[in-house]
Each structure stands twice: as structure tokens, then as C-alpha cells.
Amino acid sequence: MTIFESARFFTSAAKLTDLPGAGIPEIAFAGRSNAGKSTTINVLTRQGRLAFASKTPGRTQLINFFKLTRKLPERSEREDIAFLVDLPGYGYAKSAPDVRASWSELVGGYVATRPNLTGVVIVMDARRPFMPADEWVLDFFRSQPHIRQHWLLNKADQIKTAEKAAVLRLVKQRAAQMGPQVSVQLFSGLKKTGVEELSDTLLGWIDPEGRFAQ
């Protein structure tokens, strides 16, 4: 069992005053609507219904927190390890201006006020990376070079094997322009491929000293 399987819903925040106290590391997940962000969280935690996708993509403006814990050795208590933070989907290019403004205010405020934010996973569709909505959120995080980014190219199972290397190479070239804080991988929530690589990357963010041996 990995520490990610311990994830449990903790709280939702519709405004900055609803955010929980900042005491443990946080890993945020951002993604264009229908890129598979909720599926990614569910596959990582091996819980099929932990994170929910909105029936109206780009309209649910909530930040959802899922707490990771572990049982202390030879004790009955559990130790809080980190939060997985599901940021609201940033919708389609046709999203109303007020929705975009609301997203920027809520997520921008979250990023600016969470010193324990260790990194963000940006989920993109491997078949169509760097769509206009993706570029919009990448621009948003470009102004936050101190925050590590992991670009997750989801739905890689829908790309021909011969094309995967080319897609990965293209995206890595773009990531290199952003700096060493950006990493990239292929992933498939449907086929559950790339889960171990994602888990290892995120565990390295929150446990660089290897305290939480899996």
C-alpha cells in the first residue's frame, strides 16, 4: 500500500477564507476540463470515486483537499503527511469571462498564500498538448518559477506507439525552456500506465529524505 492510497476527502474551499491551515506539504493538480484530472487522482490513490469531474466542465469553482496520512510505527495514531489539492478545472476557451476571472482569483490567491505548496501536476491530453486553455494555465504558473511542475500527458494509450516518443520529445523540449523545475511523463488513467512513475515523482516532492518507505 502506498501513502497515496490513504487519501481521504478533507474539505472544499469556494473562497480563500475557506482554505485549511497550511501546516503540511501540498501537491496541487491542475488540468483543462476533460483532460482527465479527476481520473488521475483516482488512479493514483486507487480510489475510483475520490475526485469527481463536474457535469458542467469548467463551472465548478472549488478547491478540494484530500489528506494523506500514515500509521505511526508501533502506535495507533496516524500522522498527517500531505494534502493532494484538486484545483478547479479551467474550462474551455469558450468559458465565460467571469468564470476565468473567478478561477484566476481563487487559484491565484491559493498559490500566493500557500508556502507549503511543493509542486503542481498539470494534466494535459497527450493527443493535443498545449491547447489554448493549457497555454493559459502554463502562462499562469510561468510567473511562479519556485513551484515545481510535473506535466502529465494523459490518454497516452490513445496514441500510436510510434508517435509516443515524438510527443514526449516535443513536450520535453518545451519543458526545458521553462527550467529544471519542470518534468514530463506519459500517462494513461484508463490503462493505469505511468502510475508508478507519477507516484515516485510526487513522493520525492513530499518525502525527499525517504522517511515514508513504501
Report the pLDDT averaged over residues 90-111.
76
Of the chain, the end-to-end C-alpha distance in Å amounts to: 7
Average pLDDT over residues 64-80: 87
Residue 12 is which amino acid?
Answer: S
pTM score:
0.92
Q: How would DSSP label each residue in 165-213? A: HHHHHHHHHHHHHH-TTEEEEE-BTTTTBSHHHHHHHHHHHH-TT--S-
Residue located via cell numbers 469556494: 14
For residues 58 and 185, the model is more confident at 185
What is the reported pLDDT for 60? 56
**Domain residue limits, the chain:** 3-206
Contact predicate 120/147, CB 8 Å: yes
Q: Which pLDDT band, with edges at 50, 70 and 90, does 101 fall under? A: confident
Q: Is residue 52 scored above 70 in pLDDT?
A: yes
> Assign residue 124 a region: left if phi > 0, alpha if psi is -120 to 50, beta otherwise?
beta
pLDDT score recorded for residue 93: 45
Q: Is the pLDDT of residue 162 over 80?
A: yes
Is 3-206 a CATH 3.40.50.300 domain?
Answer: yes
Which pLDDT value is given to residue 181? Answer: 94
At position 40, the amino acid (one-letter code) is: T
In the three-class reduction of DSSP (H, G, I as helix; E, B as strand; rest coil), residue 1 is classed as coil
